[in-house]
Amino acid sequence: MMKLSPGDKVLQVFIYLLLLLLGFITLYPFWNSLVISFNTGSDTALGGITFWPRSPTFDNYMVVFRDDRISQAFLISILRTVVGTVLSVLFTAVLAYGLSRQELMGRKFYMVFCVITMYFSGGLIPTFLLMREFGMMDTFWVLVIPGLISVYNMIIFRTFFLGLPAGLAESARIDGCNHIGVLVRIILPISGPVVATLSLFTAVGHWNDWFSASIYINNPDLIPIQTLLKQILNSNIVTDQLLQAIGSSAAAQDRLALMQSVTSKSLIMATTMVATLPIIMVYPFLQKYFVKGVLIGSLKE
Amino acid sequence: MEIERRALNQAKGSSVTWWFRWFRQWDIQLMVLPALLFIFIFSYLPMYGVLMAFQDYQLFGGFFNSPWVGFKHFEAFFNSPDFWTVMRNTIVISLLKLCIGFPAPILLALLLNEVRNMMFKRVIQTVSYLPHFLSWVIVGGFVGSMLSTDNGSVNMLLMNLHLTSEPISFLSVPEYFWGILVGTGIWKEMGFAAIVYLAAIAGIDPHLYEAASIDGAGRFKQIQLITLPCIRPVIIIFMILAVGNILNAGFEDILILATNPILRDVSDVIDTYVYRMGILNNRYSYAAAAGLFKAVVSVGLLAIANRAARKMGSSLW
Amino acid sequence: MKRMKKMPLLSVVLCTVLLMSGCGGGNNAAVQSTAEPGKEPAPAGTAAVATPAEGTTVKPVSFSYYSNYDWDTTEPWGDDSTTRWIIDTLKVNITPVQSSGAAETKFSTMIASGSLPDVIMMDRGANVERLRQAGLLVSFDEYLDKYPNLKKNAGEATLNMLRSDDGKLYQFPNWYTSSPNGNGGWLVNRKIYKELNSPKLETFDDLYAYLKLVKEKYPDVVPLEVGAKGRGIDTMYGGFAENKPYLSKANPVGNALESIFKDPVFIENMLFASKLFREKLISQDVFTQTSDQITEKLNTGRVAVFVDGDVANPGRGANSALRAADPEAGYDIIWPIHKAGLNAEKITPNNYNSLGWNVLVITKQAEDPEAIFSYLDWATGDDGQRILNFGRQGLYWDETDADGVPIQNERGLTTPQSEKDKEKIGRFNWVGNTTFIDKTKAKMDAQLPEDKQNWTTLAQTKVAWKTSRNFTEFVNLDPLPDSEEGTIATTVNDIYLEVYAKALYAKSDEEVQQLLKKADEDAERAGYAKLLKFQTERWQNNLSKME
C-alpha cells in the first residue's frame, strides 16, 4: 500500500463525501420507485411516499406476474441478450482488430465506410422491407442479427486495441500465430475491461429494446419481456390520451373503471422494476474485470 | 496519407504489387470484409430511403410511386420562421452538454479510481449507473415533483432558508430551462458513461503509478501525469464523436421537461421541431429532409473534428 | 471462414434482387407474404361450415384485429369466459395484432409492406381517408340491410356523416350515441365550501370572490385547479356565452368559421384566466404538472375548486379517498359557473357528437368481410352489447328484465372488483352503442344497494349530461395532415399553444390583448384564413349531410 500524504488524505475525505452525496442522489429516485412499486396504488395517489412503503402490498407485482406469458418472455429476453451479446461482441471485436492493424490496406476507406452508417440511415420502412425479404419477420433472429455489428462499439474496441503496445501482437506473429490467434490468445485476454464494458453496453441495449419486437414480431411466443411489459402496462392503466379520447364518451367509462382498480403510478414502477432489476444485476458481476492492474507490462517484455 | 500513397503507387503502374500486397495480408482483410459486407447489407441497402427527402413520399404509393420534388422540403425547413431559433437552441444546448456533460463522467471515473475501499467503490459505481435505467417519463416525474411549486422539495428548501418568499415555478422559467435540462441529463447518464473511462483506467499499467509514487508524486500529480495521458486516446475519440453529434441536442428529455409552451423559444431543437412539424403529421419527406441535413452537417463536423484530433495523435480514420 | 469467403458475391446478387423486390413491396399490389401479422388459417372445420349459429346471423369467421393506438393492448381472445363463449357459440375467432407502444410506425410498415390486418380500430379522419383512397377498405353498404343492427341503432343521419366522399360507408362507429353526454364541469371541495359558509357560487364574480377567500384562509390549498395543460380553461370558456362550448381553434359566426383569436368569448375567457393566474388563484404549475400530481392534490383535498374537461372520473376517486378519512369531506359537482346575466340553463361547457369516439374498418385483406361485418353487427346489437359489456349470460347475470336490462345474480353482486377484472369484461366492446349502455347501466345501478351508488353516474346525470351540446356538425373539420391546410393547421396550433401559455403569464390585461392580437397576425400570415375557409366548407357540408 502506498503511503498517503496529508494533502492526499484531505483529498480522500473530500472524494468519499462527494461520492456519497452522488450515490444518494442517484440511488434515491430508484429506491423511491422500488418503494412505490410495493405500495398500494390508491395510497400512492395521495403522495408523500419517500423511503418506505406506507401501505405495503404485492398487488402491483401480481398484476404483472399473473400474465402467463411472462416466463416465456423472460426466456426470450435472456436468450436474445446472451446470444446477441456474445455474437455481437465477438464479431465487432474481429472487425475492430482488423481495422486497428496499421498495415491493413484500405483502412481509411473502411473506417469512413463504417462511420457513415452512424449518421445516414434509410429509415424504418426500407429496413423493414429488407427484413421481410430476408424472411426474418416473426423469427427470433430478427432480434439478434441486425445488431451483430455495432460501429460505435467497434470504434471503442479499436481505440483500446490501438492503445496496446504494438510489440505484443508482433511477437506472437513471429511465434507463428495468425491474426485470429493473436486476437483470441493475446489481445482479448488482456482486454478484459473493454470487453466487459462493451458486453454490458450491448447486453443493456438488447435487454431494453422493446421497439424492434413490436415492429417485427407478432407471434406472442417470441415477444421479449420489455415489449410484453409495455403491453401489460397499456392494458392496465388509464393514460391521458385515453382519457382525452374517450373522456366525452360516457359509456366508455366502464372501461375506465375496469382499468382503474390498480392506479397507474405504482404499476408503472412495478413494471419498471421487473424490467430493469435483472439487467442491473449484471454490472456488479462484471466489475471484477475492472479491477486495476492488467499486467500488460509483464507481457510486454 | 495512405490513399495518396496508394494513388502514387498505382500511378507508377505498380498495381500488380498492390494486388500482391493485398493478397499477402488476406487474413486481415478476411477479418474485415465479411463485417463490412454485413454493414453494406443492413445499413447501405436500405439507404435509398434517404432519397425520400427529395420526394413527396406517399405511404400508400410507396417509394417508387411517389413524385420527385427536388429541394422543396429543404426549402420549407430552412425558410420556416423558427429555423434560426431552432438552430440556435440546438447548438447552445449541445455545446452546454458538451462542455459540462462531457467531462462529468470522466471526473466521476477519476474520483472512483481514487477510492481505496473496494466495497465502497463497487457500490457507488453500481448506484451511479441506476438512473440510466429509469425511463425519461419516470425521471420527468421526479424532476417535476422536486421542482413543483406545490410542496416541491426544492421550493420548500428555498423557502425554509428564506432564499425566496414565493415558490418558483422552475420548469416554467425560460432562464432556468437549459440548466435543468443539462443537469438532469448529467445526473441520468453520468454513471453509465463513466464505465468506459473506468475500463480505460483499469487498463493502465500499475507499474507506472508505483514508479511515480517512488518519485514522490502525490495522487493529484499522478492523475495529471499518468491517468489522464493514458486515457487520452479514449477521451479524444469520444470528443470527436460528440462533436459529430452536435445537431442531436436531445429529444425525449426535452419533450418531457419542456411541457410548458412558454419555453418554446429556448427548448425547441431540430429533433423536437421536426417531430412536431413532420412526424406527427405524417410528413415523412419533410422529416427525411431534416434528417439528411443533420447527417450531412454531422459528418462535416466529424471530419473537421477528426482532422483536429489527428494533430493530437488520435483519429477515427 | 471458408464459407464466409463464398458469401460476398452471392450476397450482393441476392441483395440486389431483394432490394428490387423490397421496393416493390411499397406497392399495394404486393403479394401477401409470410409476414402477414397474426393471420391464422381458419380451422378447416369452421371455414367449410359457414352457417351461422342458431338464433344469430353471425357467420363463423377468423380474423386479425389491430388497434392503432400506442396505449392500447388487445387482450388475448378466448382466455376469458365471455370470448370463449363467443368462440364456442358463434365460431368467431380473433387474433390480436399488438401495437406495443409503436402504433404509428407499425401502421406505416404494415401499409408499406402490404400486410394490413383484417380489421383496424382507429381514429376517424386522415388515415381512414387515405386507406380508402388507396382502395384498401371494404365498404359496408351492401351488408347494411342484411345485418340491420348498425343501421337501426346509429340511424341514417349518423351513417351519412360517416360516409366518404364517394358516398359509401367504410367506417363502423364505436360509442356512437343519440343522447347527450360528457364528463366536464366544476367540482367544489365540500368541506372547504362548508367551512367558508357555502357562499353563492354561480357567476364568475362569485367564483373570483370565493377563490380569494380560499387563498386567504387556506394558504396550502390550490384555489382553482384547471387540470393538465390547463384544459379546464377550455371548459371555462363555455361559461362566457350561452350554448357555446369551446370549439378547437375556430369560432362559428353565422355560416362561417372565424379566427379564435378574435373571438370575444375567447378573449374574455383568457383575460379572466390570466387574472386568476396572476393573482395565484390557479395552480402555478399548470403546464408542467403531471396527472399524478393533480390526482394527488385532489385526493388529499388540497383543491378547493376543480374545473376540467373530465371531472366525473377523477372526482369519484378523490371523493372516496377523502370520505375514507372524513365522512364530511368529498367533492360535489356544481352547475357550471357562468358570466353574470346569462341564462344558467343554457350554459354548456360540454359537447358531444353522435359519431362517438372512433371507428373500425375492414380491409381488403379480409377473406370474408361479410362474415366479419356480421359479427360486428351482432356485437353492436342489444345481445352483443349486453354480453360484451356485462359478461356472458350465466356469469354475473342470468336473465334480463322486460327492458333487456341484465339482472345481476348472486355472483355479480358479491364478486369483488379485482376478481371481476380477470374476466376482462368490457374490453372487447369495439362497437359500443352509448345510448343502450347508458340506459342499461343506469337501471343496473338502481339494483345496487344505496352505499354502492356510483358517484360518477350521479355527477353525469345530475349536471354534466344536462350541460352538453350536440357538436356533430363540427366533426371531421381537420384537413389531411400533409396537405397545405394541414401544414397551416400545425402552425396555427403551435401559435395557439404558445400564446395560450404566454397569455396566462401576462402581467396585465393589456398584455393579454396584445399577445392575442399578435397571435392573430402571426396566424394570418401562416394562412389561417385558408384553413378557416376549408373548415367552413367542411362544416357546411356536414350540415347538408345531416338534413
pLDDT at C95: 94
Q: Does A214 touch chain C (CB under 8 A)?
A: yes
* Chains in contact with chain B (at least 3 beta-carbon pairs closer than 8 A): A, C
β-sheet bridge partners, residue C469: C351
- Let me know if residue C286 belongs to a domain: no
Separation between Cα atoms, residue B207 and residue B214, nearest integer Å: 11
pLDDT digits (tens, 9 = 90+) for A76-100: 999 999 999 999 999 999 999 999 9
Name C129's bridge partners.
none
Distance in angstroms (rounded) separating the CA atoms of residues A159 and C232: 56
Interchain CB distance below 8 Å, C418 and A246: no
Give the ranges where C391-483 is alpha helix by DSSP (H).
Answer: 410-414, 417-421, 434-447, 455-462
Q: State residue C221's pLDDT score.
A: 93
The closest CB to that of A8, out of B204, B207, B219, belongs to: B219
Count of beta carbons in the 10 Å neighbourhood of residue A288:
10
Hey, CA dihedral for A200, A205, A210, A215, is it positive or negative? negative
Beta strands C172-174 and C358-362 are antiparallel
Q: Are residues C512 and C386 in the same domain?
A: no
Residue B81 or A224, more confident: A224
Are C157 and C354 spatial neighbours (Cβ–Cβ below 8 Å)?
A: yes
Query: Taking CB atoms and an 8 Å cutoff, what residues of chain A touch B203?
Result: 160, 163, 191, 193-194, 294, 296
CB-CB under 8 Å, C288 with B172: yes
CB C119 within 8 A of CB C366: yes
- A30 within 8 A of B130, measured Cβ to Cβ: yes
- Position C502 scores a pLDDT of 94
Answer whether A114 sits within 8 Å of B138, measured CB to CB: no
C51, C175: one domain: yes
In a domain, C215, yes or no: no
Beta carbon pairs, B and C, within 8 Å: 123
Distance from CA of A1 to the nearest CA of B (A): 10
Nearest CA in chain C to A227: C100
* B281 Cβ under 8 Å from any chain C Cβ: yes
What is the CA angle A269-A271-A272, rounded to 5?
60
DSSP labels for C74-116? PPPTTSSHHHHHIIIII-EEEEEE--TT-HHHHHHHHHHTT--
Three-state DSSP state, C30 = coil
For residue C310, with 0-12 CB atoms within 10 Å meaning exposed, 13-18 middle and 19 or more buried, which class applies? Answer: buried
Rounded to a whole number of angstroms, the CA Rg of chain C reads 27
Is there a contact between B131 and A26 (Cβ–Cβ < 8 Å)?
Answer: yes
Position A243 scores a pLDDT of 53
Angle at the Cα of C354 from the Cα atoms of C350 and C355, rounded to 5 degrees = 115
Give chain C's domain count.
2
In angstroms, what separates the C-alpha of B231 from chain A's closest C-alpha?
9
pLDDT of A208 over the 80 cut: yes
- As averages over each run of 10 residues, the pLDDT of chain C (547 residues) reads 38 39 34 39 41 75 93 87 92 92 87 91 88 93 94 91 92 90 91 95 96 94 91 93 91 94 96 95 89 87 93 85 89 95 93 90 95 95 91 88 86 76 81 88 75 75 88 89 88 93 94 96 95 95 86
Classify residue C68 as exposed, middle or buried by CB count within 10 Å of its CB (0-12, 13-18, 19+).
buried
Assess whether C382 and C488 both reside in one domain: no
For residue B80, give how far its alpha carbon lies from the nearest alpha carbon of chain C (Å). 10
Interface contact flag, A108 B2, Cβ < 8 Å: yes
The residue whose grid cell reads 356523416 is C161
Calpha distance C98→C413 (Å, rounded): 34
Helix (H) or strand (E) holding C63: strand C61-67
* Cα–Cα separations (whole angstroms), residue B38 to A118, B48, C13, C123: 14, 17, 14, 40
pLDDT at C2: 37
Cα distances (Å, whole numbers) of residue A119 to A294, B296, B300: 35, 8, 11
How far apart CA C499 and CA C496 sit, in angstroms, is: 5
Q: Which chains touch A (3 or more CB pairs under 8 A)?
A: B, C
What is the distance in angstroms between the CA of the first residue and the CA of the last residue of chain B? 11
3-class secondary structure, C340: coil
Instruction: Provide the H-helix boundaries in chain A.
Output: 6-37, 41-44, 59-65, 70-100, 107-119, 124-133, 151-163, 166-174, 179-181, 192-208, 211-216, 225-236, 240-246, 253-259, 264-280, 282-286, 296-300
pLDDT given at position A23: 93
Beta carbons within 8 Å of C164's beta carbon, 6+ residues apart: C129, C132, C170
Please provide the DSSP assignment of C264-304 as one string.
HHHHHHHHHHHHHHHTT-B-TTTTT--HHHHHHHHHTT-EE
Q: Which carries the bigger pLDDT value, residue C34 or residue A60?
A: A60
Q: Is B142 on the interface with A (CB under 8 A)?
A: yes
- Whether residue A265 lies within 8 A of chain C, CB to CB, comes out as yes
So what's the pLDDT on residue C217? 94
CA distance B187 to B189: 6
Contact list, A29 vs chain B (CB under 8 Å) = 131, 134, 138-139, 142
C-contacting residues in A 133-162 (Cβ below 8 Å): 133-135, 137-138
Q: Which of C19, C24, C481 sits opposite B45 (nearest CB)?
A: C19
Please count the other Cβ atoms lying within 10 Å of the Cβ belonging to residue A102.
Answer: 8
C459 to chain A: nearest residue by CA?
A: A250
If you measure CA to CA, which chain C residue comes closest to B29? Answer: C5
> What is the phi/psi pair of residue B134, to 5°?
-90, 135
Q: Does domain B55-310 have CATH number 1.10.3720.10?
A: yes
ipTM of the complex: 0.86
Using CB atoms, pick whichever of B141, B149, B261 lies closest to residue C292: B141
**How far is residue C221's CA from residue C329's CA, in Å, rounded to a whole number?**
15
Q: Walk me through the domains of chain A, giving residue ranges and CATH numbers.
A: 13-57 (no CATH), 64-301 (1.10.3720.10)
A137-168 residue pLDDT tens? 899 999 999 999 999 999 999 999 888 887 77
Q: Which of B63, B276, B283 sits opposite C23 (nearest CB)?
A: B63
Give a three-class secondary structure readout of B246-295: CCCCCCHHHHHHCCCHHHHHHHCCHHHHHHHHCHHHCCHHHHHHHHHHHH
In a domain, residue C154? The reply is yes
Instruction: Tell me the residues of chain C between 483 and 542 that have a Cβ less than 8 Å away from chain A.
Output: none
Query: How confident is the model at residue B191, as a pLDDT?
Result: 92
Range of the domain at C491: 475-546
B201:A292 CB<8 A: yes
Our measurement of the distance from residue C32's CA atom to the centroid of its chain's CA atoms, rounded to an integer in Å, reads: 33
With beta carbons under 8 A apart, name residues in chain C contacting B281.
Answer: 481-482, 486-487, 490
The residues pairing with C305 across neighbouring beta strands, listed in sequence order, are C188, C224
pLDDT in single tens digits along all 317 residues of chain B: 455 555 555 555 567 788 888 888 888 888 899 999 999 999 999 999 899 899 888 877 778 888 899 999 999 899 888 899 999 999 999 999 999 999 999 999 999 988 888 889 989 999 999 999 988 888 988 898 889 887 788 888 898 888 888 888 899 999 999 999 999 999 999 999 999 999 898 888 888 888 888 888 778 888 888 899 989 989 999 999 999 999 998 898 998 899 898 999 999 999 999 888 887 777 888 989 999 999 999 999 999 999 999 888 778 88
Query: CA dihedral defined by C222, C223, C229, C230, rounded to 10 degrees?
Result: 180
Shortest alpha-carbon distance between residue B266 and chain A (Å)? 26
For residue A196, give the nearest of B115, B199, B241 by CB distance: B199
Residue B120 near chain A (CB below 8 Å): yes
Q: Are residues C49 and C161 in the same domain?
A: yes
Q: Are C185 and C463 in contact (CB under 8 A)?
A: yes
Domain finish residue from C363, C395, C427: C395
Beta carbons of B60 and C498 less than 8 Å apart: no
Burial of B225 (0-12, 13-18, 19+ CB in 10 A): middle
H/E element, B195: helix B174-202
* CATH of residue C112: 3.40.190.10
Spatial contact of C173 and C154, defined as CB atoms under 8 Å apart: yes
- Listed by number, the residues of chain C in 342-381 with a beta carbon closer than 8 Å to a beta carbon of chain A are 350-352, 356-358
Of C366, C395, C424, which residue sits at a domain end? C395
Counting every residue, how long is chain A? 301
Answer for the pair C351, C118: CB distance below 8 angstroms, yes or no. Answer: no
CA atoms within 13 A on the CB side of B205: 14
Given pLDDT bands bounded at 50, 70 and 90, which one contains residue A3? low
Q: Assess whether C40 and C133 both reside in one domain.
A: yes
Tell me the chain A residues in contact with residue B233 when contact means C-beta distances shorter than 8 Å: 159, 162-163
pLDDT for the residue numbered A56: 87
Which residues does chain A have within 8 Å of residue B151's beta carbon, measured at their own beta carbons?
Answer: 47
Check whether residue C371 and residue C503 sit in a common domain: no
- Cβ–Cβ contact C417 with A under 8 A: yes
- Mean of pLDDT values over A268-288: 88
Radius of gyration of chain B (CA): 25
Is residue C480 domain-shared with residue C391, that is, in the same domain? no
Which residues are CB-contacts of A141 (< 8 A; sequence separation ≥ 6)? none
Q: How far apart are CA C124 and CA C171, in angstroms?
A: 8
Cα distance from B236 to chain C (closest Cα, Å)? 35
Relative to beta strand C350-352, strand C468-470 is parallel
Q: Is B261 on the interface with A (CB under 8 A)?
A: no
Sort out which chain B residues have CB atoms less than 8 A from C1's CB and list them: 30
Closest CB to B131 among A2, A26, A296? A26
Strands C406-408 and C397-400: antiparallel
Residue A229 contacts C, CB cutoff 8 Å: no
Using alpha carbons only, what angle is made at residue C292 by residues C290 and C296, rounded to the nearest 5 degrees? 125
The C-alpha of A98 sits at a distance from chain B's nearest C-alpha, in angstroms, of 6
* Contacts of C among chains (3+ CB pairs under 8 A): A, B
What are the extents of the domains in chain B? 55-310
Put simply, the chain B residues between 43 and 82 with a CB less than 8 A from any chain A CB are 43-50, 52, 63
Quick check: is C38 in a domain? Answer: yes
Q: B6 and A105 in contact by Cβ < 8 A?
A: yes
**What is the spatial distance between Cα B159 and Cα C240, in angstroms, rounded to a whole number?**
38
Pairwise CB contact (< 8 Å): B262 & C133: no
Decide if C76 touches A, using CB distance below 8 A: yes
